[in-house]
Structure 1
Amino acid sequence: MRTETTFATDLQRKIDMKTKPLGSLGRIEELATQIASLQATLTPRMETCQLTIFAADHGIADEGVSAFPKEVTRQMVLNFLQGGAAANVFAKTVGAELRVVDAGIAGQPFDMEGLLDRRIAPGTQSFLSGPAMTQVQCEAALEAGRDLGVGGDWDAVAYGEMGIANTSSATVLTHKLTGAPIDAIIGRGTGLDDAGLARKRDILTRASARTGELTAIGALCEYGGFEIAMMAGAMQGAAQAGRIVIVDGFIASSAALVAVRMAPEARKAMVFAHGSAETGHRKMMAAMDAQPLLQLGLRLGEGTGALLAWPLLRAAADMLNEMASFDDAGVSEPA
């Protein structure tokens, strides 16, 4: 029976015996090791990927922290369902499935085919003056996410989001969970000008001062969004099911940070797709000891960066399964 130690040794030898100089495939070799270790096999499967976009509205948007009105959340969900967003295009390009979840969009519930209804409430409360959500709501969002993460049979999952003002939630969550100052995390989000950024900084600073040190679930209740909470739960569920979780950018990484603080074992399933252009993303990466695969200057969300990273995971598994060894190819090993 192969032990964890002998498995790691056998896996490293399999990688090293491919027809290449030792370590020459860099991060691809690291990915192959992570995938094979998560699946506990020397011949891992990495053929199917599914993107779930969680959408919800934020009460803090009413305080003027975003360049776009709250109505854009609903409008973009319609765009996803009609196939017109960047996430739709990229999903088609890389052969990933896509689904959209209403986690808590303002207004009346949708009645549209293709939208999963998991709405907790029609948006959170403004966290400037009180908690964004109750603990009951937070736990319901986490549980709904876990159910979605556990279900299905994809080899990898990616999670995206849509929610006007959710960079504000992600900023304060990161501040509370890492201790990094607001000024080191805050960014322009959907394109705030200098005056808008100053207003956002003032509002988030005052909001964060309402509370002291918080647990992960406490921070989520106080400052999170329903889509962030549901995404954190989905990441936990997918990790529990032994799936690779491709983490997108700034907002998705705030959900990953919450998920890891609540369930540290979920970290081994996570692959971080790209370094966001949002200022605070580096703080998140440092807090999770993560190195993003790509640097593309993205700050869109929707899971777009995660989709672009998916082919790298397929390539890593294919390298392990299909690339010839020195013995197979009749090539001399390194001296």
Structure 2
Amino acid sequence: MSERALDLDGFSDLIERPHGGLRREAEERRARTGLPEGALGKLDELGEWLSAAQSRVPVQPVSRPRLVVFAGDHGVAELGVSSRPAGAGAALVREALDGRSPAAVLARRFDVPVRVVDMSLDCALDELPAEVTRHRVRRSSGRLDVADALTPQEAEEAFRAGMAVADEEADAGTDLVVLGDLSVGGTTAAGTLIAALCGTDASVVTGRGGGGIDDLAWMRKCAAIRDGLRRARPVLGDQLELLATVGGADLTAITGFLLQSAVRRTPVLLDGVVSAACALVGQRVAFRAPDWWLAGQASGEPAQGKALDRLAMDPLLEQDVAVGGGTGALLALPLVRAAAALAAELPVADGGQPGEGPDASSDDGPGADAYDAT
């Protein structure tokens, strides 16, 4: 790959882990509630994680979450690897914008605003609102089995777009991002990335996708991942080149978004196999970054299981939801909110009132400033 201005090595220096001392302080506060140890199960761990991420004890309620959905089409869909026709990503986005998709229904029910970011949909720009298309890099990513998904310049542009969206959300006060994706062919790209990074074969990571493909389509998908894997292995040492080779614009943007969210100390709730693949790439860039991310649910995709195992993440729910768009992650949001409410409002034995306690928040802590990657 040619020399470029974007330097991913800087993320390792800028990303700090959530405040470990405050996590212990939150654990001590929880012990003073008088509830038996383990009575709240994993909700205790969630509340402590949020305290560390927010740098606050007691934790603040999750009051300003947002569903951020990255969208794109993939050239590999031309091979018939999906239940939907190639180029149908725009129709999925219109369903989400019109409030008719599963994720949109849940977001409306949970009072979560939705933001859709078009990175590479195969439709004319004027078919979607300008605020959706303003970060688009190209119309559809290239066929990863025989050609690079992106040029080096497009990869950098997509990565920077993801970083910019993360900065916009942090600046707007979003306190938890529910991450989603909408694409046709995206799980094939995700499977290729995960197989390459986990050192496994195509058949091990090839799933049925959100549409439940038949056996013939599964074999075509497995062959595409196998061919993409051959192209991915030689560039494993350069994560941006890897994304350009087999990831595509939407997955590249998601990776940039995840890393910059960690820089800005914004917690992210992952959805399915696509966000897991991007998280795995992000871990290669900055090993502390995954401490800012939670796996919302297990989608049933074998590649997601491989990625979460490598990331040492246990999904909050196991619902096998694979429709994308952030649906599975949204299902886990009430659990996260419940953990925050319990950690904040349970009275403690020393007489403290619900919501009272030391506030260790800081606006100038590590990673508070945006990373410009230059």
TM-score, L = length of structure 1:
0.92
Distance 1:307 1:295 in 2: 13
What does 1:318-333 align with in structure 2 at a 5 Å threshold? 318-328=341-351
1:253, 1:195 → 2: CA distance?
26
- Mapped to 2, the partners of 1:324 and 1:232 lie a distance apart of 40
* 2: CA distance, partners of 1:220 / 1:292: 25
Q: Does 1:315 align with 2:345?
A: no
Residue 125 of structure 2 aligns to a residue whose secondary structure is coil
**What do residues 234-276 of structure 1 show as CA deviations (whole Å, max 9, x unaligned)?**
1112222211100011111111112222122221110110011
Contact 2:188/2:224, CA 8 A, preserved across alignment: no
Distance in 1 (CA, whole Å) between partners of 2:104 and 2:196 is 33
Please report the RMSD computed on the Cα atoms of aligned residues, expressed in angstroms: 1.8
SS of the residue aligned with 1:314? helix
Deviations 1:196-223 (A, max 9, x none): 1112212221232234341322321111
* Cα distance in 1 for residues equivalent to 2:33 and 2:163: 38
The answer (yes or no) to whether the contact 1:94–1:308 under 8 Å persists in 2 is no
Task: Give secondary structure in 2 for the equivalent of 1:290.
Answer: coil
- For 2:118, the equivalent position in structure 1 comes to 102
Q: Which runs of 4+ in 1 moved over 6 A?
A: none
Q: 2:81 is matched by which residue type in structure 1?
A: V
Matches of 2:173 and 2:222, distance apart in 1: 42
Contact 2:77 2:185 in 1 (8 A): yes
Q: Distance in 2 between matches of 1:180 and 1:110?
A: 41
Kindly tell me: are residues 20 and 197 of structure 1, through their superposed partners in 2, closer, same or farther at Cα, counting changes over 3 Å? same
**SS of the residue 2:269 aligns to:** strand
Q: How does 1:135-284 map to 2 (within 5 A)?
A: 135-151=152-168, 152-189=172-209, 190-213=211-234, 214-215=236-237, 216-284=239-307
Q: Which amino acid aligns with 1:210?
A: R
Q: TM-score, normalised by structure 2?
A: 0.83
Structure 1 SS opposite 2:115: strand
Distance 1:67 1:309, change over 3 A: same
SS in 1 for 2:298: coil
What are the residue-to-residue correspondences of 1:118-133 with 2, within 5 Å? 118-133=135-150
Give a deviation string over 1:10-60, Cα, whole Å, max 9, x none.
222101112310122121111111111112111222211101111111111
The 1:116/1:51 distance shift into structure 2, 3 A limit, reads farther
Contact 1:51/1:157 (8 A) holds in 2: yes
Q: Does the 8 Å CA contact 2:117/2:132 hold for their aligned counterparts?
A: yes
Distance 1:179 1:226 in 2: 23
One-letter amino acid matched to 1:309 = A
2 CA distance for matches of 1:100 and 1:5?
33
CA separation in 2, counterparts of 1:250 and 1:73? 17
Give the paired residue count.
327
Q: Name the CA distance, whole Å, in 2 between partners of 1:6 and 1:179.
A: 36
Contact 2:232 2:246 in 1 (8 A): no
Residue 314 of structure 2 corresponds to which residue in structure 1?
Answer: 291
Which residue identity does 1:145 align to in structure 2? G
Q: Percent identity?
A: 27
1:131-187 per-position Cα deviation (integer Å, ceiling 9, x unaligned): 111121111111111111122211100111111011100000001111122111101
1-structure distance, mates of 2:280, 2:232: 19
- Quote the residue 2:370 is aligned against: none
1:62 aligns with 2:78: yes
- Residues 31-110 of structure 1 aligned to structure 2 (within 5 Å): 31-45=46-60, 46-110=62-126
Distance 1:318 1:33 in 2: 12
2:28 equivalent to 1:13: yes
Contact 2:195 2:202 in 1 (8 A): yes
Question: Structure 1 residues 226 and 282, CA, compared in 2 at 3 Å: closer, same or farther?
Answer: same
Question: 1:232, 1:256 within 8 Å by CA — same for their partners in 2?
Answer: yes
